[in-house]
């Protein structure tokens, strides 16, 4: 299955007093990879919202921490489509230390498609191939 990745260095502001990346930053890195996945598949994430009024609300998050990331580590955040249907999509993630390839965390986010008023909707037909949803 197709995946996308982003590379960056851990900023000092992302670490805690122990010099370890604060746990919530992994969710931000997952979002960065998810946004890149949409981009490489041909759609900017924000255009789904702006042009079609469809929001992808996070309804579930899972993150398993395996090893700590530290200040100035080069990180690779990868995202892939894990599952999808006309009302919900699941993305899978892997966060790695670039230098060694060590897996630092794995995770998943589940997203429900909503309209601007927060009501559940089916994803528009034009985005079904983006999210690997069968007609």
Name the catalytic one among 16, 47, 72, 115. 16
Taking Cα atoms as reference points, which of 65, 51, 61 lies closest to residue 111?
61
Cα–Cα distance, 119 to 132 (Å, whole number): 22
Sign of the C-alpha dihedral computed for residues 12, 14, 17 and 20 taken in this order: negative
d(CA 56, CA 48): 9
Q: Which residues pair with 4 in a beta bridge?
A: 79
CB count within 10 Å of CB 118 equals: 8
115 is catalytic: no
Catalytic sites, residue numbers = 16
């Amino acid at each position: 299955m197709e995946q996308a990745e982003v590379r960056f260095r851990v900023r000092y502001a992302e670490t805690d007093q122990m010099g370890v990346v604060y746990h919530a930053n992994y969710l931000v890195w997952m979002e960065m990879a998810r946004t890149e996945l949409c981009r490489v598949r041909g759609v900017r994430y924000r255009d789904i919202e702006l042009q079609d009024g469809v929001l992808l609300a996070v309804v579930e998050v899972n993150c398993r921490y395996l090893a700590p990331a530290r200040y100035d580590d080069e990180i690779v955040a990868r995202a892939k489509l894990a599952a999808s249907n006309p009302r919900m999509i699941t993305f899978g993630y892997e966060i790695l230390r670039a230098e060694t390839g060590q897996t630092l965390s794995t995770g998943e986010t589940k997203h429900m498609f909503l309209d601007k008023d927060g009501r559940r909707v089916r994803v528009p037909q034009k985005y079904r191939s983006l999210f690997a949803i069968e007609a």
